[in-house]
Structure 1
Amino acid sequence: MVHVHRTVALCAAGSAMLLGALSGLATPQAQAQAYPADGDRDRRSAAVLGQLVPAADGPGCAAAVGRRGEVVWEEGRGKADLADGRAITPKTVFDLASNSKQFTADAVLLLAGRHQLTLNDPLSRFLDHPPAWTRDVTLGDLMRHTSGIPDYQDLLEAEGVKVTDPAGQQEALTAILASRPQEPPGGHFSYSNSNYVLLAHVVEKVTGKPFPAFLQEEFFTPLRLDMTVSPAADLPGKAKSYDEKDGKYTVNSSPWKQYGDGAVQGTPGELVRWADNYRTGRVGGKRLLDGVTRGAVDVGDALSGRGIEAGRYGAGILVLPDQSLVHRGDWEQFHSTFEVSPDRNTAVAVVCNAEAPDSFRAANRLMDIWSR
C-alpha cells in the first residue's frame, strides 16, 4: 500500500518536498489572472473543479470558498466511496491531515495568552521523565519545526512498525523521546510531524484534558464548526481514500492513531469558516493573531526560479511574502490545500480523496476568482 506522510506538501524527509509542492502557488506578480474580471463566479468555480476532476466516476475532490466567515461557494465532484457509488458533496467529510497543525499551534498560543506557558519554555518542563536533550528544545522550536527532532513515522518504521500496523499516540511519543535531535535545536527549518505530536502532549499536560476535547471546547464549539479530532476514524459521511495504479483504485487506510500533527476531520466548507478566525481573532484575540506570524522562520530558498519566493513557517501555517497563509495536508490519500488571502477576507480549501496534482493550482484559481 502506498502511504503518504501527514505533511504540508512535504514528507518528513525535509523541506524540499514542501517547497516543491508549493511551486504551483505563484506570487501576485507572477500569477496571471486565470479568468476575465466579469462573468459568473459560481460557473467559473465549477469549471475549475471540473478541470481538477475530469471524470466524475472515480475518486475526486470537494472545494469551498469563504468570505469573511460565510461560505460563498462549495461543490464536490467524484466519488466518496467507489463500492457504493456515494458521490462527493459539500457535506462529505475528509481527513484534513496536516491542515490540523494550525489548530494545535493555536491551542498553544491560546495557553500562552492565558500565561499557562510560554514559547520559550523547554520541552522538559512538560515531561515526567525528560531526556536531557529536551532541556534544549523550546515549544517555539516545536511549533516552527526548528527542533531537529526526527519524524516519528521514520522512527516507528525503523522499529518495524508499519503504517498498516496499529500504533497510537503513546507509541509515537515513546519513539520520539527515545531519539534525539539530529541537529542543534533552534537552527534551520526541518519539517517533522514529531513536533506537533509533542505539542498536543503539552496541551494535555497543561490543561489536564484530552487534546480532542480541548479543541472541541475552545475552538470548534465557540466557532460553531462541525469538526472533530478523531484519528483513524470511519465517520458517517466520510470519504474513503484511494491509491491508483494503472487506472485501478484500492482503498488506502492506516490504523495509526496519532494526533496533533493531523487527525482533524471536516469538510472544506468548515475549514474556510474556521479561516475567519485569522481575521477576527474571535478565539484568542489579537495576541493569538500576532502569534500566528511572530517569529516565523525562513523555510529556505528552494523555490528560486519556480515562480514563488520562499515563505516563512509560523504557527502551524506557512506565511508567503505577500502575507497570505498556506498549508497542505497529506495522509493516506487524503490531500488538502488551504489558503487565506493577505487581507484575511477570503479563504479557499480544496480536499481530495486521491492524488490530485493540480489541487494547488485549482486553489489559486478559486482565490483569484473570489478575492478580486
Structure 2
Amino acid sequence: MTGPEEALRAAGLLSAGTAVALAWSTPATGPRTWCSGRLAGRPVDPATPFYVASVTKQLVGVLAAQQVGAGRLDPDVPVRSLLPRLPAWAADVGVRHLLHHTSGLPGTDRVLMAAGVGEAELTNADVLDALAALDGPEAPPGRAFAYSNVGYVVLAEALVALTATELPVLARRQVLAPLGLAGGLGPGPAGTPSGRRPPRTLGDGGWWTGAADLLRWLEALDAGRLGADVSARVRTPGRLDDGRPLTYGWGVTVHADGTLTHGGSWPGWTAKTVRHPATRTALALLTTSDDADAVSRVALALHAQLVAGASSQASSRSSSVRRPDAP
C-alpha cells in the first residue's frame, strides 16, 4: 500500500492542527495503524476517541439486525406500532423504510424549525416531538431513496422502545462489550474541544471510537463474530416498495463489487470506513478535517490497494499449488 503519510498529504489531510488516525488490515498483514497530530492536547494514537458521526448508522443497523434475527422485530412492521407518539400521517412508515432511507420523513431543516433549537442542541426527544407537530411527510414512504438522519434517530428510538433499553446501554451490551471494544454512544470524552462538540442525537450519530477499535468492528463483521446471519443481513441492499433495488443496506452503502462503505461528518470531524468481506480487507480513517470528499477519496484509494494486494497474493498462492501427476 502507498505510504499512508504520502497519500494523506497528497489529499491535503495533514495540514497543521488536523488530527488523523488510520487503521487497516488484510489477511496477510493483520491490523496496521498510522496516526498524526494532537487531539485534546495529546498525541493521537490508535485508541484516541474520535466522533464518527454517521458511521454510527452501521452500528444501529447491526442492532436492528440482531433483533430481527432473534425474532423480536419484523422489518415490515409499522414503526408507529413501536412509537405511538409518531403522528397519524406516519402510519405507513415501516422499519425497513427507516433502515434503507425510503421513509419520506421530513428532513432535518423542517424538524429543526419545528423543534425551535439549533442542530447542535437537538435531542432524540426533540425529533419525536417535532415530527408530532408537523402536518405531513416529505413524500410517501417506499417511493424513493432520500438519505435521512431523522429516519435513523426514529429507528434508534424504535429499538429503545422495543428493548426497553437506552441506546448506549443496548450498544454496549449487544455489540461493543462482546467484541471487546472501548468507546460508545454519548456526549463524548472529557476534554473534547468545545468547538468540536457534536450534536446530542443518537442513531444518526453519537459514536465515539478509536481507529483500532473501529477496524476491529469492521473485521468482526467480515468474520461473522456477531453471527453470520447478522453480517449477511446488514450487507443486503434494500428495495423500494415497487421492487426496484437500492444500493443501501442496513447502515452501509453496498457497492456492485461487494465493497461496503459509510462516511460521517460534522464540523471538526470526518470519518470513513471501507471493507470488503470477500477479501477480508478493511480500513478505517478518522480525522478532524472538514474535507469529507478528500477523506472519502483517500480511504477508497487506499482500500483499493489493499484489495489489489490481497487478490494478487491469493492468485500467487493458487498458482503455486501443484496438481498431482495423473495415474
Judged with a 3 Å threshold, the aligned counterparts in structure 2 of structure 1 residues 333 and 176 are, in CA distance, closer, same or farther, namely farther
Q: Does residue 1:292 correspond to 2:234, yes or no?
A: yes
SS of residue paired to 1:358: helix
Give the match for residue 60 of structure 1: 19
Structural mapping, 1:139-178, within 5 Å: 139-157=95-113, 159-164=115-120, 166-178=121-133
Contact kept in structure 2, 1:144 and 1:313, CA below 8 Å: yes
Moved over 4 A (4+): 53-56, 68-71
**Structure 1 residues 160, 264: CA separation in 2 closer, same or farther (over 3 Å shift)?**
same
Q: Does 1:366 align with 2:302?
A: yes
Deviation at 1:130, TM superposition (A): 4.1
Q: Deviations over 1:123-180 (max 9, x none)?
A: 111023442222201000000000100234541145541235x332211221123333
Q: Specify every segment of 5 or more residues in structure 2 that has no aligned partner in the other structure, as ranges.
A: 310-327
Amino acid paired to 2:271: S
CA distance in 2, matches of 1:147, 1:69: 42
C-alpha separation between the residues in 2 aligned to 1:188 and 1:344? 32
Whether the aligned pair in 2 keeps the contact of 1:322 and 1:342 (CA below 8 Å) is: no
Which of the two has higher C-alpha Rg?
2
Aligned partners of 1:189 and 1:297 also within 8 Å: no
The answer to whether the 8 A contact 1:338-1:349 is kept is: yes
- Give the one of 302, 325, 331 matched to 2:260: 325
1:230 aligns with 2:173: no
Percent of aligned pairs with the same amino acid: 26
- Is the Cα–Cα contact under 8 Å of residues 99 and 262 in structure 1 kept in the other structure? yes
Given the two structures, how large is their TM-score scaled by the length of structure 1?
A: 0.74
Among 124, 128, 135, which residue is 2:84 paired with? 128
Q: Does the 8 Å contact 2:267/2:290 carry over to 1?
A: no
CA distance in 2, matches of 1:176, 1:69: 49
Could you say which residue in structure 2 is the equivalent of 1:29? Answer: none
Distance of aligned partners of 1:183 and 1:46 in 2 relative to their CA distance in 1, 3 Å threshold: same
1:45 Cα offset (Å): 2.7
Q: Give 1:175-190 correspondences, 5 Å limit.
A: 175-179=130-134, 180-190=136-146
In 2 relative to 1, CA 44–69 (structure 1 residues): closer, same or farther, beyond 3 Å? closer
Choose which of 217, 241, 244 in structure 1 pairs with 2:173: 217
CA contact (8 A) 2:13 2:295 kept: no
One-letter code of the match for 2:236? Answer: R
Alignment-derived partner of residue 244 in structure 1: none
By how many angstroms is 1:100 displaced?
A: 0.3
TM-superposition CA deviations, 1:175-202 (whole Å, max 9, x none): 1233332111011100111111111111
Specify the code of the residue in structure 1 equivalent to 2:197: S
Q: Go from structure 1 to structure 2 and tell me whether the alpha carbon gap of 1:53 and 1:195 turns closer, same or farther (over 3 Å shift).
A: same
AA in 2 matched with 1:206:
L
Give the 3 Å change call, closer, same or farther, for CA 190–267 of structure 1 in structure 2. same
Residue 317 of structure 1 deviates from its aligned partner by 0.3
Q: Secondary structure at the match of 2:137?
A: coil
1:272-306 per-residue CA deviation (whole Å, 9 max, x = no partner) reads 110123322221x23222321334248xxxxxxxx
Q: Which amino acid aligns with 1:151?
A: G
Q: Are the counterparts in 2 of residues 142 and 195 from structure 1 also a CA contact under 8 Å?
A: yes
Judging by fraction of residues, say which structure has more helix: 2
Whole-Å separation in 2 of the counterparts to 1:120 and 1:337:
30
Report the Cα offset of residue 370 of structure 1. 2.7
Match of 2:94 in 1: 138
In 1, Cα distance between the equivalents of 2:28 and 2:112? 40
Please report how far the alpha carbon of residue 98 of structure 1 lies from its aligned counterpart in structure 2 after TM superposition: 0.2
Q: What displacement does 1:55 show?
A: 4.8
Structure 1 alignment gaps of length 5 or more: 1-40, 242-250, 299-309
2:158 match: 202
